[in-house]
Chains A and B, each alone.
Chain A
Amino acid sequence: MSLPYTKTERVNLSTAEVLLACGDMQGLNIMCEMFAGFGVHTPRRCQTMAECKAVAQERIINLMVVDSALNDTDGYEFISWLRRAELDPNSFAPVILVTGHTRPSQIFRGRDAGASFVVAKPAAAMVMMQRIIWLMNDQRKFVNSPGYCGPDRRVKALGPPVGVKGRRHDDLSGAVGMATTPNLDQDEIDALFNPKAVAS
C-alpha cells in the first residue's frame, strides 16, 4: 500500500484540533497513541456522545475520528446530529467513522450518517494516514437534504450512470442537441490554440 504523497511532502497536524471518540477506554488510548505518532498534541478525548457534543459546541475542530461504539449510543448518532446541528464550521468538518462488528441493520446507517470516510477495524496507522491525506485534498461539496446531510457521497465526478437522468440541476443531458450558432472557421480555431497579441 502506498501513500498518495511524494517523499518530501509533510503533514503538519501539530496545530490541528482533533476529536477522538471511542466508547472503550483502551480503544481510545490506542487511537490517542496513533494520533500522537501523527504529531497531534492534545486531542479531545471522548467516550460518550454527550462529551462529543460538548466538545463540538465549544471549540472549532478540524478532524473527528469517531468509533461506531460509544458508551451511551452509536457513533452514527453523533455524526448525524453533528451534520444537522448547524455548528459552522464543525458541522462540515471531516469525520472518519471507525467500525468494528457491524450489524446488518447498521450498514445503511453508517452510509447515511454523513461520515467523510468509513474505516473498518483494525484501523492500521497506514490506512488512517492515507485517509487523512485524502481528506486534506478533499474537494467534495456538502449536501444538505431531508434524507441526507454530509459530504457528497459521489467521490468520482463521472456524472450520472448511462441511461439515467441526473438528479442535480447542473447534471448535463447525455443527448447532444443541434448547434445553435455557426461553426468556427479555421482561423478562429487556430487562434484558440495559438493566441497572439493584436496591435490596435
Chain B
Amino acid sequence: MTRAARIFAVENKLGQIAREPGGRRPEDSIKAADGRIEAARGASIAVLVEKAEQLGVLVANRQGNEASSLDGLYDISNAAYGLAGTFGLSALAEAAFSLCDLADHFRSGEPANWPAIEVHVDGIRLLANLGDKAAELGAESILGGLRRVRARVLPPA
C-alpha cells in the first residue's frame, strides 16, 4: 500500500529571527556583501590560474585513468565557471562552461575527443592568466574558436 501525502504548515523561524530589532537595510547588506566579495578578487583570480593549471595536469596524466580525468575536469571547470562568473570574467566563465559540457558528454560513454578538450584547457589557461584584461586582449577570438570546436564535437542542444 502506498503512503498518502501529508501536507502541513511549518513555522517560519527565519522570518521571526530576521525581523528582530536591529539588523541592516537590505541595500546596505548588499553593498557590504559586494564590497567584501570584491576584496577577494585578487585571491580568486589567483585560484582560477591554479585551477587552469590543474586542468592541464589532468589532461597530461589521462593515460589509463580517462574516467577519473573526465570527472576531475568536470569538477574543476564547474568550480571555475562559478568563480569566474562572480567576478565578471565572462569569457573565462563561458570557456569553463563549455569544458563542463564536453567532459560531461564524454564521460557518458562516447570515446573522448581529447584534442577538443586540450584546446579548451589551453583557452582556459590563457583566459585565466589574462584575468581582467582578457576582454581587451582578444578573448572574443579565443571564445570563437572554442565555440566552433564545441559545435563540431557535441550534438546541438
A binds B: yes
Chain A residues engaging chain B, CB cutoff 8 angstroms: 3, 5, 7-16, 23-24, 26-27, 29-30, 33-39, 60, 62-63, 67, 69, 89, 92-94, 98, 100-101, 103, 121-123, 125-126, 128-129, 132-133, 135-139, 141-146, 152, 168
**Which residues of chain A come closer than 8 Å to B44, judged between CB atoms?**
26, 30
A-B contact sample (6 more), CB < 8 A, given A101-B100, A137-B15: A26-B83, A30-B40, A69-B78, A93-B13, A132-B18, A142-B7
- Interface core residue of B3, B13, B20 (most chain A CB under 10 Å): B13
Asked whether B25 lies within 8 Å of A63 as measured between CB atoms, the reply is: no
Question: Do most interface residues of chain A lie in helix, strand or loop, or is the interface mixed?
Answer: loop
- B3–A11 contact, CB under 8 A? no
Query: B73-88: which have CB < 8 Å to A?
Result: 74-75, 77-79, 81-83, 85-86
Chain B positions within 8 Å of A122 at CB level:
82, 85-86, 93
Enumerate chain A residues within 8 angstroms of B29, measured Cβ to Cβ: 11, 37-39, 125, 129
Residues of A within 8 A of B78 (CB): 69, 100-101
CA A15 to CA B85, docked complex, whole Å: 30
Q: How far is the CA of A13 from the CA of B18 in the complex (A)?
A: 5
With A11-B26, A13-B18 in contact, do A38 and B10 touch (Cβ < 8 Å)? no
